[in-house]
A and B are shown apart, each in its own frame.
Chain A
Amino acid sequence: MFKNKIPLSVKQNRAGWMFLLPAVILITVMNFYPMFNALLLSFQSGKGASLEYAGLYNYTRMFSDKVFMQSMFNCFFYLVIQVPIMLVLALILASVLNRKDLRFKGLFRTAIFLPCATSLVSYSTIFRSLFSTDGLINTVLLKTGILQTAYDFLGHPMSARFVIIIALIWRWTGYNMVFYLAALQNIDYSVYEAAKIDGASAWDSFWKITVPLLKPTILLTLIMSTNGTLQLFDESVNLTSGGPGSMSMTMSHYIYDTSFRFVPNFGYSAAMSFVILVLVMVLAIIQMKVGDKRD
């Protein structure tokens, strides 16, 4: 009988790598190779196809680009206001829906998660028409006498930004809630019962049991939301067209403009994309340092 001299662990390791190989090859070819090329591209400058190496020119240049700075401000504005509201809402909804005595749980969960199943473009378009001067919101406000004349929500910088924030909350709260719901399944109900017997209020057990035990999940959703918000594109393009002017435009929207709408400047676009990458990385590292106390 043929005897194999290779130890079992090595064999298993090899089998493991064989299983991983297709994914590794695909990710390298489809992800890392383009990323590396984009990095090279970000050091080049020029119109369309005629590019030349320009060193760090693109990177130094963008800090005097008023439109890019505006779009970065907008992204951080969305981040700072929308993400906390959304995550707190998702957490509250998740703990309400996790109650043992709640009826029609399935129905509520589905209803709250459903917005995530809608396409980004279509929900943006619907929000756009809801908030237009002759849209539903204005009609309701006029009919109820709250407003005397229709308010142009998308025509004013602040209100346009808040329409985007409202849209984002509607679209993504359910998505984050599902993570919390899943994590809540891992908290034994007896912990809550014990707290109740000891005289803890619902408020106490939320802050002292739910939140600490959900910390890793909160961290995960926070990083994902930060990442998503800094790369926001569809809402800016379809809901407000970045307007009025470029007062609600996001960084990704501006990158699209500099690549496809304006005279194509792919080097500059790539450089801006890498700035977003660095921003996301830095924020994620800070969040992990602050939030994750596991050693």
Chain B
Amino acid sequence: MKKNFLVTLLALVLSLSLVACSNGGEKPAEGGDETNGETLTVWCWDPAFNIYSMNEAAKLYQKDHPDFELIVVETPWDDVQTKLSTAGASGDISTLPDIVLMQDNAFQKNVISFPDVFTDVEGSGINFDDFAAGKVAYSVVDGKHYGVPFDNGAVIAAYRSDVLEEAGFTLDDFTDITWDEYLEKGKVVLEKTGHPLLSCISNEVDVVMMMVQSAGGSLFDAEGNPSIADNEIVAKSLETYKALKDSGVLVEVSNWDQYIESFQAGRVAGTVNGCWIIGSITSGDPEQAGHWSITNMPKLVGLDTATNYSNNGGSSWLLTANCKNKDLAYDFMKSTFGSSVEFYETILPSAGALSCYKPAGESSVYGEPQEFFGGDSIYQKVIDFSGKVPSNNTGVYYYEGRSAIADAAAKYIAGADLAEELKAAQEQVLFQMGQ
């Protein structure tokens, strides 16, 4: 009896899994090739942010094009990258959607590694001069525009104004400052209130990369060769990072969730990150409403090129070569992300999606005071910051460079010589480039 039952159960499970598989293959959402003339498929990852924005764009476009249909498949960034690489390497791009959302840092790498997988947007009629120049530069390959710029990664420094007040400071004391001043004032805050000012994920070098870009530095020169060894800006950034860590003003946490939790739970009294972090700040403890304030990031000391502005993250839309109805995709992107102030006015208040579309920055929606930030017009500030961000050469080998910097940082913090480690990092990247 028992055996029969088990056999039946097993058979049931097996047949169910087979059914599940065959269903998976038939889903129209899986690929762009099964679409009728008026359907586009998109891969992106954040339901509260880019997926929401894409769906809003579709709603807007449907007003004039009632037959238009948009299918968004929620695909985490890591999966987008893996699927693109697999499709690109195998040469079978039929699995790809019409449009993918691409991290700006991975843009060059993907378009150059898989030239046959993507389609440029030169014919779309989008006026790229309407977008921030630094942003557009990420998605230009061989002089051709491949990306439709989406979100803004301008760096903000956010502080708990109530904690600063407790330590005897105001937001002005943290505006237009240097990292040295930040460190000194941070020590006072730590001593008086027990709160560090900054948390970051260990083994992720986001803060270092933000510092490097804020002084107009890059890990690569304009020709794409690594410029890590003897790079004054990179060295200064790592020194600053180590000083912050040693003082306790910066604490390292082990993953993304802990990072978010560290300031949402009020243990850490601030953060420095791309402006998309605003969504995570406002979705924290409602008791913190009104106690947050935003200003520009500190700048590096002793460098002529140092500024208080940088960029972290951000993404752009990229058309795949599997897009059968290119004209539809062009027109859709142009009439929404490419030219509609109305569209950007819709997605800003509900998703906090800050655009890089300059005409939208003049919209009154951006100037509205935000209660969560003590009635400050923070979006206006961010738009202002984003116009001042120095540009950055990500190169094709951005992730190799970043990895080498993480290696160097770990060894330097453990006590190794900085110049030696930067030289080793340079050699590591050069080695990895010599395929």
Contacts and interface: CB of A to CB of B under 8 A. Distances in A.
B428 interface: yes
Interface residues of A, number: 44
Contacts, number: 124
Contacts of A66: 424, 427-428, 431
Given A244-B202, A245-B410, A64 B431 contact: yes
A156 interface: yes
Contacts of B202: 152, 154-155, 243-244
A174 interface: no
A134 B255 CA distance: 12
A221 B251 CA distance: 42
B203 A244 contact: yes
A72 to B, nearest CB: 16
Given A128-B254, A152-B252, A257-B403, A245 B116 contact: no
Interface of B is mostly: helix
Interface in B294-331: none
A198 interface: no
A128 B203 CA distance: 13
B113 A48 contact: yes
Contacts of B406: 243-246
Interface string A231-259: 00000000011111111000000000111
Interface stretch (B147-155, B230-238, B348-356, B394-402): B394-402
Contact of B253 (A48, A133, A247, A268): A133
Interface in B65-92: 78, 81-82, 85, 88-89, 91
Given A48-B85, A154-B254, A263-B109, A243 B203 contact: yes
Best-surrounded residue of A66, A261, A263 (most CB of chain B within 10 A): A263
A243 B89 CA distance: 29
Contacts of B203: 154, 240-245
The 8 closest A-B pairs by CB, nearest first: A48-B113, A243-B203, A245-B410, A244-B410, A245-B407, A132-B254, A47-B113, A48-B114
Given A128-B254, A155-B202, A242-B203, 14 more contacts: A45-B435, A49-B116, A64-B431, A66-B428, A157-B414, A243-B406, A244-B202, A245-B410, A260-B78, A260-B85, A261-B81, A264-B85, A264-B113, A266-B89
